[in-house]
């Protein structure tokens, strides 16, 4: 089985991807989500989880928020080092949401307007800060304010994953995630399937 395995910082990212991926991921590839209890839990368990995954037909995407860390490149490098320690560097990629998952949503206020039934909200996209939302300090706070509290992390992420414009380039981190998924998808489809034993994750 060809699998694309996501190692995720939190359940809200899982909710988003579960509704986003069926819209474009080839059905011959099975997506699998492993949601951790925050970034520290992700970093603590990542090596063990990657080592325990026995399917040779799997590729991995590790995803976490930048939050208040000053350098997203350093976070990416550290996570790639963990993938290397697990012997999975060649089949893994890391994607950082700058600064939070909610940046993806602020980059597509048309989707937010439709998801939450807030007429006129998409007009806010014209404002400078929403034209490049990766630069915002607290995207989650901005989104909560814009939706007047209607956005809740898990349910809101599930709703928005169904509506985000896959070709939206306002958020570089969202663009890079979609491109990364498509790159691993092409790699998986281009390789022969190899038999594999049961796994422990």
Spans of all domains in the chain: 2-99+170-189, 102-161
Please give the Cα distance from 160 to 55 (Å, whole number). 31
Please give the Cα distance from 106 to 172 (Å, whole number). 12
Task: Establish how many alpha carbons lie within 13 A of residue 62's alpha carbon, considering only the half-sphere containing its beta carbon.
Answer: 28
Annotation: CATH topology of 2-99+170-189: Rossmann fold (3.40.50)
pLDDT for 106: 98
pLDDT for 177: 97
Name the nearest CA neighbour of 192 among 89, 56, 91: 56
Helix (H) or strand (E) holding 32: strand 29-35
The Cβ of residue 158 has, within 10 Å, a number of other Cβ atoms equal to 19
pLDDT for 97: 95
Q: Mind listing the pLDDT tens digit for each residue in 135-147?
A: 999 999 999 999 9
Q: How do strand 92-97 and strand 58-65 relate by DSSP bridges?
A: parallel
Question: For residue 166, what are the CA distances in angstroms to 14, 53, 172?
Answer: 17, 29, 12
Please give the Cα distance from 187 to 185 (Å, whole number). 5
Tokens linked to 171: 């958020």
Please give the Cα distance from 196 to 199 (Å, whole number). 9
pLDDT for 194: 66
pTM: 0.93
| Per-residue model confidence as pLDDT tens for the chain (201 residues) | 999 999 999 999 999 999 999 999 999 999 999 999 999 999 999 999 999 999 999 999 999 999 988 889 999 999 999 999 999 999 999 999 999 999 999 999 999 999 999 999 999 999 999 999 999 999 999 999 999 999 999 999 999 999 999 999 999 999 999 999 999 999 999 988 766 544 444
Please give the Cα distance from 145 to 2 (Å, whole number). 41
């Amino acid at each position: 089985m060809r699998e694309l395995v996501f190692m995720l910082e939190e359940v809200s990212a899982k909710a988003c991807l579960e509704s986003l991926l069926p819209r474009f991921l080839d059905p011959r590839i099975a997506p699998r989500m492993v949601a951790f209890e925050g970034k520290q839990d992700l970093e603590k368990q990542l090596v063990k989880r990657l080592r325990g995954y026995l399917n040779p037909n799997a590729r991995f995407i590790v995803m976490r928020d930048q939050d208040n860390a000053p350098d997203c490149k350093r976070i990416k490098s550290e996570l790639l080092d963990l993938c290397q320690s697990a012997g999975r560097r060649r089949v893994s990629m890391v994607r950082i949401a700058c600064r939070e998952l909610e940046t993806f949503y602020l980059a597509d206020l048309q989707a937010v307007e439709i998801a939450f039934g807030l007429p006129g909200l998409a007009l806010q996209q014209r404002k400078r800060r929403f034209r490049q939302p990766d630069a915002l300090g607290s995207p989650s706070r901005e989104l909560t304010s814009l939706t007047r509290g209607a956005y809740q992390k898990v349910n809101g992420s599930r709703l928005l994953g169904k509506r985000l414009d896959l070709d939206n380039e306002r958020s570089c981190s969202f663009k890079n995630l979609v491109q990364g998924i498509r790159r691993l998808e092409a790699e998986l489809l281009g390789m022969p399937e190899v038999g594999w034993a049961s796994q422990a994750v």
